[in-house]
A = this chain, B = another copy of it.
Amino acid sequence: MPLHPDRLLPPEPAVRAIARRLYRSVQALPIISPHGHTDPNWYADDAPFPDPATLFVKPDHYIFRMLYSQGVKLEALGVPRLDCAPVESDGRKIWRLFADHYHLFRGTPSRLWFEHSLETVFGIEERLTSANADSLYDRISERLGQADMRPRALYERFNIEVISTTDAASDPLAAHDRIKASGWTGRVVPAYRPDAVIDPSRKDFRGEVERFLAVAGAPATFAGYLDAHRSRRAYFKERGATSTDHGHPNARTANLPRDEAEALFERVLKPEVTAEDADLFRAQMLTEMARMSVEDGLVMQIHPGSFRNHNPQLFAEFGLDKGADIPTRTDYVHALRPLLDAFGNDPRLTLILFTLDETTYGRELAPLAGHYPALRLGPPWWFFDSPEGMRRFRELTTETAGFYNTVGFNDDTRAFCSIPARHDMARRVDCAYLAQLVASHRLEEDEAHELAYDLAYRLAKQAYRL
């Protein structure tokens, strides 16, 4: 079945008519993608994407975690093991396994993204089944070999105006430099993601900090370490970065006196860091990052609340990002206070908050963002980047924070072909929400049109200073 033109719009005819008008006005706007995880080498190398299984199944933890939850082994899906033991390498077999379990995705956003990609990128309007798995595999494979399916051509076809990657603090950003040197006009900017040199609970923390200091040419003191951040931020900024990103277990911030912060830095560089010291150091560094953002203007993002690698057996066998990261209850009201005391009223700071705990939307995040000039609310994240998740976000934040303390949409994805699908979903769901407001006479339609444009395009560009 082809994609329905009214998908995700409200079923009631009068409301749908309004939603349709709103959606039509923003449907074709360029994509602003200020937060995502595509690989900058794609744009630098412009090499063809490989087979369908490598494109859609192997790297997508949304897809393989669902199959895993129903008893399919990750090895059978071609997910590489850390011990390099053999896993399935026949893309067609992996694809068939995906097709055999396709019903599992009913009612999920993965299904909607996948079918949007199939139709708009590959021209396939059939539903994937065990019966047609081979033929679809062949059709996708064939298309993947064609010139107009390379990353740069797709970037242009997707009407992307600017896209941000996410890059480690010590990353030389060579791919970004190659993109620039190539003369290609696509705008691919890095984002400064220093978690590896900020989180002392990581096994590789000390090694990462050493490398980081070496890259920046800074001494192993707290002052040197902060200078290294300043230097790397400037390096990123020269290459187009407008933001930093911080993925912490919680939203805790601290603002210690300098001597305590220095002593803490010395402690976390030793082996056997206590959990409290690790947590406090992360907390302190969020405030340091905010301080630097006030100086250099990089927009700051905090993504807290994921319990990473909940499944130790899977982690030991397959490593990070295998669908075993689970959200946890997250506090913002107390946690953010030290940072907000220092910079919450500073108009030079933009701090964008994300959450995996939807209970905080109405109770904590909207009231905070509806007060502090420095705060903005990021869009629904990860598990909540879905039609119902986006609807709840608007219903739970708008009445307190309004629309203008939010920042448009983030696709947050490493699945390149799903980018247009995700932005399209967000535009549809926002237009559906706006149409409900218009239909219940809480908003007039001219305002809804302005808002639809702001939510689809303008706010992301403005908030991320792009």
A residues in contact (CB < 8 Å) with B: 1, 3-4, 6-15, 65-66, 68-71, 103-109, 111-112, 127, 307, 310-314, 323-329, 331, 333-334, 337, 340-341, 344-345, 347, 356-359, 362-364, 366-373, 375, 383-384, 386-389, 395-396, 398-405, 436-437, 439-444, 447, 450-451
Determine if B367 and A363 form an interchain contact, defined as CB atoms under 8 angstroms apart: no
Specify which chain B residues have a CB less than 8 angstroms from the CB of A368 in the assembled complex. 310, 326
Specify which chain B residues have a CB less than 8 angstroms from the CB of A436 in the assembled complex. 11
Complex formed: what's the CA distance from A106 to B448 in Å? Answer: 9
**Whose C-beta in chain B lies nearest to the C-beta of A112?**
B442
Determine if B405 and A70 form an interchain contact, defined as CB atoms under 8 angstroms apart: yes
Specify which chain B residues have a CB less than 8 angstroms from the CB of A395 in the assembled complex. 388
Provide a sorted-by-A list of 6 A–B residue pairs whose CB atoms are within 8 angstroms.
Answer: A10-B440, A69-B405, A106-B451, A107-B442, A359-B359, A386-B400
Determine if B328 and A333 form an interchain contact, defined as CB atoms under 8 angstroms apart: yes
Specify which chain B residues have a CB less than 8 angstroms from the CB of A387 in the assembled complex. 399, 440, 442
Complex formed: what's the CA distance from A103 to B455 in Å? Answer: 14
Specify which chain B residues have a CB less than 8 angstroms from the CB of A440 in the assembled complex. 6-11, 387
Complex formed: what's the CA distance from A358 to B396 in Å? Answer: 10
Complex formed: what's the CA distance from A1 to B399 in Å? Answer: 21
Known: A7-B441, A11-B12, A68-B371. A108 touches B399 (CB 8 A): yes
Contact of A8 among B108, B347, B403, B442 (CB under 8 A): B442
A14, A111, A363, A386, most chain B CB atoms within 10 A: A363
Complex formed: what's the CA distance from A444 to B402 in Å? Answer: 35
A4, A310, A439, most chain B CB atoms within 10 A: A310
Contact of A399 among B109, B307, B313, B363 (CB under 8 A): B109
Complex formed: what's the CA distance from A33 to B465 in Å? Answer: 47
Question: A-B pairs with the 8 shortest C-beta distances?
Answer: A7-B441, A4-B441, A11-B439, A386-B399, A107-B398, A327-B363, A326-B367, A359-B359
Specify which chain B residues have a CB less than 8 angstroms from the CB of A111 in the assembled complex. 442
A383 to chain B, nearest CB (A): 5
Further 4 A-B residue pairs, CB within 8 A, beyond A311-B371, A329-B331:
A65-B370, A311-B372, A356-B363, A387-B440
A71 to chain B, nearest CB (A): 5
Complex formed: what's the CA distance from A276 to B324 in Å? Answer: 29
Specify which chain B residues have a CB less than 8 angstroms from the CB of A437 in the assembled complex. 107
Contact of A106 among B8, B105, B323, B402 (CB under 8 A): B402
Complex formed: what's the CA distance from A397 to B107 in Å? Answer: 10
A450 to chain B, nearest CB (A): 8
Specify which chain B residues have a CB less than 8 angstroms from the CB of A6 in the assembled complex. 440-441
Complex formed: what's the CA distance from A400 to B63 in Å? Answer: 11
A14, A325, A371, most chain B CB atoms within 10 A: A371
Specify which chain B residues have a CB less than 8 angstroms from the CB of A333 in the assembled complex. 307, 310, 326-328
**Whose C-beta in chain B lies nearest to the C-beta of A404?**
B104
Determine if A399 and B107 form an interchain contact, defined as CB atoms under 8 angstroms apart: yes
Contact of A404 among B70, B112, B357 (CB under 8 A): B70
Determine if A363 and B402 form an interchain contact, defined as CB atoms under 8 angstroms apart: no
**Whose C-beta in chain B lies nearest to the C-beta of A341?**
B312
**Whose C-beta in chain B lies nearest to the C-beta of A359?**
B359
Complex formed: what's the CA distance from A69 to B403 in Å? Answer: 12
A422 to chain B, nearest CB (A): 13
Specify which chain B residues have a CB less than 8 angstroms from the CB of A375 in the assembled complex. 69
Determine if A345 and B311 form an interchain contact, defined as CB atoms under 8 angstroms apart: yes
Determine if A358 and B367 form an interchain contact, defined as CB atoms under 8 angstroms apart: no
Determine if A1 and B444 form an interchain contact, defined as CB atoms under 8 angstroms apart: yes
A337 to chain B, nearest CB (A): 7
Contact of A362 among B107, B328, B340, B383 (CB under 8 A): B383
Specify which chain B residues have a CB less than 8 angstroms from the CB of A7 in the assembled complex. 440-442
